[in-house]
């Protein structure tokens, strides 16, 4: 791999550590110039190199593009699954066979990037808080609620949430009411709990779907709050 970006120091913070580890992941694998020339690549070569510098947070699309070739296996993707997934940026992970050895690695990197993005945006949050605004539950969040409701319905215990979910029941009531959205960790825990009541449930696939749906719902709430405050839509 060319040494274009200065090698980040992993001791200087999470952003630098992420870039350093991503750089290490790509050692000996397909080069950035090759990835940038690929027909399906939609980000620039400069953006791909910049993701390895640790100077600023790369976009989801940039990180996903690198991980597809360095942590995934495009040759084993099933292109027919495209239409079934909510977030096209990370859809390549779900196109991999469920038992593929790289699928878990790709999921781990995606989760690590999501956590890094939350931390970085949090560090930038020393500006005054934006005014609170009331918004309706976005359609994307309604889609998440329906997905969770359908999953609960598979157990036949939708009227016995406490029996079904135990300590999660109060939180799930808030999710179903559109008052909050679960984290990735909670999506995994909820799926495992529900899977114990539905033996043939593909818990790995269901957990991924819930996490992607929840991520899209969170982004929709951010978008609608921005619009409500008079900001521009992206």
Q: From first to last of its 234 residues, what are the pLDDT tens digits of the chain?
A: 444 557 888 888 899 999 999 999 999 999 999 999 998 888 899 999 999 998 889 999 999 999 999 999 888 888 766 444 456 788 888 888 877 788 889 989 999 998 898 888 665 544 455 566 788 999 999 999 999 999 888 888 887 777 777 767 888 888 999 988 988 778 888 888 888 888 788 878 888 888 889 889 988 888 888 888 775 444
Pair 163, 222 in one domain: yes
Residue 222 lies in a domain: yes
Residue 78 lies in a domain: yes
Residue 233 lies in a domain: no
Pair 105, 149 in one domain: no
Pair 164, 92 in one domain: no
Pair 21, 104 in one domain: yes
Pair 14, 113 in one domain: yes
pLDDT of residue 118: 86
- Burial of residue 201 (CB within 10 Å: 0-12, 13-18, 19+) is middle
Rounded-to-integer distance, Cα 181 and Cα 217, Å:
8
Residue 128 lies in a domain: no
Rounded-to-integer distance, Cα 64 and Cα 113, Å:
9
What's the structural domain count of the chain? 2
Pair 25, 68 in one domain: yes
Residue 133 lies in a domain: no
Rounded-to-integer distance, Cα 128 and Cα 119, Å:
18
pLDDT of residue 31: 94
Residue 134 lies in a domain: no
Print the domain residue range for 224.
139-228
Rounded-to-integer distance, Cα 211 and Cα 206, Å:
9
Pair 106, 43 in one domain: yes
pLDDT of residue 33: 94
For residues 134-166, one letter each, b for 16 or more C-beta atoms within 10 angstroms of the residue's C-beta and e for the rest, the string is: eeebbebbeebbebbeebbeebeeeeebeebbe
pLDDT of residue 90: 85
Q: Which is nearest to 145 in space by CA: 173, 165, 175, 168?
A: 175
Pair 146, 209 in one domain: yes
Q: For residue 12, what are the contacts with CB-CB under 8 A and spacing of at least 6?
A: 54
pLDDT of residue 84: 43
HSE on the CB side for 40, CA within 13 Å? 11
Is-contact 74 92, C-beta < 8 A?
yes
Pair 75, 21 in one domain: yes
Rounded-to-integer distance, Cα 29 and Cα 140, Å:
37
User: Helix (H, G, I), strand (E, B), or coil: what is residue 46?
Assistant: helix
Pair 108, 178 in one domain: no
Chain-centre distance for alpha carbon 58: 14
């Amino acid at each position: 791999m060319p040494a274009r970006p200065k090698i980040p120091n992993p001791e200087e913070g999470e952003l630098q550590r992420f870039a350093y580890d991503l750089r290490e992941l790509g050692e000996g694998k397909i080069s950035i110039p090759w990835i940038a020339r690929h027909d399906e690549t939609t980000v620039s070569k400069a953006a791909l190199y910049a993701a390895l510098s640790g100077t600023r947070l790369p976009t989801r699309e940039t990180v996903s593009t690198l991980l597809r070739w360095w942590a995934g296996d495009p040759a084993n993707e099933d292109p027919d699954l495209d239409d079934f997934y909510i977030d096209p940026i990370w859809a390549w992970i779900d196109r991999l066979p469920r038992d593929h050895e790289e699928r878990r690695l790709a999921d781990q990197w995606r989760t690590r990037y999501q956590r890094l993005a939350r931390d970085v945006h949090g560090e930038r949050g020393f500006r005054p808080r934006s005014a609170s605004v009331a918004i309706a539950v976005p359609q994307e969040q309604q889609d998440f609620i329906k997905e969770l409701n359908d999953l609960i319905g598979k157990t036949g215990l939708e009227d016995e949430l406490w029996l079904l979910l135990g300590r999660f029941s109060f939180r799930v009531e808030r999710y179903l009411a559109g008052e909050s959205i679960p984290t990735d960790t909670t999506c995994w825990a909820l799926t495992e709990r529900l899977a114990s009541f539905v033996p043939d449930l593909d818990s790995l696939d269901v957990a991924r779907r819930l996490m992607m749906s929840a991520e899209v719902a969170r982004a929709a709430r951010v978008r609608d709050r921005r619009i409500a405050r008079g900001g521009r839509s992206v």
